[in-house]
A and B are shown apart, each in its own frame.
Chain A
Amino acid sequence: MWNELRGDLSIRGERQTRAGTLALANRGIGSMSIASQTLVTMGDLEVVTGFGDLVCTGLGSCIGICALDPVAHVGAMAHVMLPGEEGSHDLTRPAKYATQGVRALLDAMEARGGTRANMGVALAGGAQVFGFNATPGLDIGSRNAEAVMAQLALLRWKPAGADLGGNMGRTLVLSLESGQVRIRTAVHGDRLLCTLRGN
C-alpha cells in the first residue's frame, strides 16, 4: 500500500533491506505532497529520490551520515556501526564499517544520479560512556567519529554540519524537500543542525 502511495516520488534503493520503509505516508490536507520516512538501521544504507525523510534512530556510539544532492533530488543516509580497518567489508551491511560506509554512500548517490559536486554531507553520533579513557579500546564513539571524518577527508568532502561525541543518544533526520538536517535527543528535543544545499 505504501509503495502505491509513494508512487514515483520516492524510489527505494536497489536492496530491500531489513530497514524497510517505515510506514508514514502522510497525505497533507489540501496538499499534493506525500511524505515518507525511511528508517536506516544499524550497518545499513538507504538512498531515496524525490521527497521524504531519511532517519537514523538510536545513535549511541554509531554515526549517522547523510548526503543530499538538491539538484538531482537524491538523498542518502548510512548508519555506521564501527570504525573498521582497511579492507573491512560486509556484503550484507554496506555501512557496517566507516572504512566501507562513507565510500558506499557516495557510490550509491552517484548510482542514482547524484553528482559529487552538488552533494552536501552532515553527520551525527559517536557518543560514549564515561570512563572509556581508563580502558583504551572502549572508546567506540570517538574512534567511529575519527574514522568517518578520515574517510570524508580522503574524499575531500567537508561536512556542512557535525554533532559528535558527548553521552546522549541521538536521532538524525534528513528532509529531502528542505535539505534540513535535524538532531533529536530525549533531553534537549529537536534542533536544526544545518541545511544541505550542495557542496
Chain B
Amino acid sequence: MHAEGKLDMTATLTLEDIVQKTSDLPSMPTTVLAVMREADSPTGSSQSVGRHLAQDQALSARVLRLANSAYYGLQRQVMDVPEAVVVLGMRCVRNLCVVASTYPWMSRPLSGYALGPQEMWTHSFAVAVGAQLAAERSQKVSRDAAFTAGLLHDIGKVAMSIWLENKLQAMHTLASRAGMSFDSIERKVLGYDHAEVGAHLGEKWNLPKPLLTAIHYHHQPNNAPESSPLADCVHVGDFLAMSMGYGLGGDGLSYDFQGETMERLGLIVDGLDDLAVAFVASYERHEQMFTQNAA
C-alpha cells in the first residue's frame, strides 16, 4: 500500500509535463542532425559532410583527434576536416558525431533508474553496437541508422529520471508482484513509458520518423503501427546489452523479449550465443575507438 501510495503522486503528470517541466533536458545539435542527414542521403559526399561538420569547432576537433589517433595509425597528420572525413569515411564520422554529442549528458547519473555515472552511457552505447550487429546480420536496415537508434533508444529515461526518484523500489516491487515488465509498470502508473517519452523528446529534436518509431517501440516492436526493422534491431541490441550486463540499472533485465523480432530479422535463435560473443567483441572494439575520442 505504501509503495503504491507513493506512486500515485506521479500519476498526475502528463507526458507533455515530463518534457516541459524537466529542466536541463538535452538537445541534439543541428550540426549533428545535418551530418546524419548528409551521410544517410544517397547524394551525400565527404565534401558535403565535411562542410556541415566544419560549422561545429568542438565536433571538428574530435573528428580530427580520432583521425590522428593511434587507432588508425596513419603515417602523417590529418590537418583539416574534409580530409579527416575522407580518411575515416562518412559513416564513421557520422557515428562519431552522434556519440560525441550525446556522451556529455548520457554519462551523467540517473538516480531515478539507479544508474550511476557512465552507466546510462555504457548501456546506450552497448545497445547501439548490438543494434548495428543485428542490422548487419539481417541486412534489412542501415547499420548506421541502427547504431543511432540504439544509442538514443533510452533518451526518455533522461527526462523521466527526476520524476521517478525514490519510487524505483516501489515500482520494482509492483513489477515483481504482478510479474510485469518495468515498462508495463511505467505505463500502469504514469500512463506512458520511457520509450514513449523518448519518442516525444526526439520529435522535438526533429529526429527522422523511423528513428522515432524505433525509440517508441523498442520494448514492444510487435506493437509498432507498421513493420519497423529498426525497432527490431534495437530490441535485439537491448536484449544483448542487458544479458551481457552492460549498464544495468534498477530496472535490470525486467523487460519482455519478443522473439518474433528474431524471425523478422532472419536471425537464428540457435545462434544466439554466437551472436552474444560477436556482440561483446564488437562492443570492446567500438568502445576503444569511440569513447577515447568522443569523451
Contacts and interface: CB of A to CB of B under 8 A. Distances in A.
Interface stretch (B131-139, B143-151, B237-245): B237-245
Interface string B266-295: 000110110011001000100000000000
B168 A129 contact: no
Interface in A146-198: 167-169, 185-187
A57 B256 CA distance: 23
B252 A186 contact: yes
A187 B114 contact: yes
A129 B280 contact: no
Interface string B242-262: 111111111011111111001
A138 B243 CA distance: 10
A56 B124 CA distance: 21
A61 interface: yes
Given A137-B269, A138-B269, A187-B114, A127 B252 contact: yes
Interface string B154-181: 0000000000000011001000000101
A83 B273 contact: yes
B116 to A, nearest CB: 9
B259 A58 contact: no
B259 A138 contact: yes
A131 B255 CA distance: 8
Given A131-B258, A135-B257, A141 B280 contact: no
A32 interface: no
A122 interface: no
A18 B283 CA distance: 14
Contacts, number: 104
Which of A57, A59, A130, A168 has the most chain B CB atoms inside 10 A of its CB? A130
Given A131-B258, A135-B262, A169-B245, A82 B273 contact: yes
Interface string A115-131: 00000000000011111
Interface in A34-91: 42-43, 57-62, 81-83
A134 B269 CA distance: 12
Which of A58, A131, A167, A168 has the most chain B CB atoms inside 10 A of its CB? A167
A94 to B, nearest CB: 15
A128 B253 contact: yes
B114 A130 contact: no
Given A60-B242, A60-B243, A137 B252 contact: no
B246 to A, nearest CB: 7
A168 to B, nearest CB: 4
Given A60-B244, A137-B270, A187-B168, A169 B253 contact: yes
Given A129-B239, A137-B270, A81 B244 contact: yes
Contacts of B252: 60, 127, 167-169, 185-187
Contacts of B169: 187
Contact of B114 (A58, A61, A141, A186): A186
B236 to A, nearest CB: 10
A132 interface: yes
Nearest to B253: A167
B268 to A, nearest CB: 9
Given A135-B262, A140-B276, A186-B114, A128 B248 contact: no
23 contacts: A42-B244, A43-B280, A58-B245, A59-B245, A60-B246, A61-B244, A61-B245, A61-B253, A62-B244, A62-B245, A129-B242, A131-B257, A135-B262, A137-B272, A138-B239, A140-B243, A141-B253, A169-B245, A185-B252, A186-B168, A186-B248, A187-B114, A187-B252
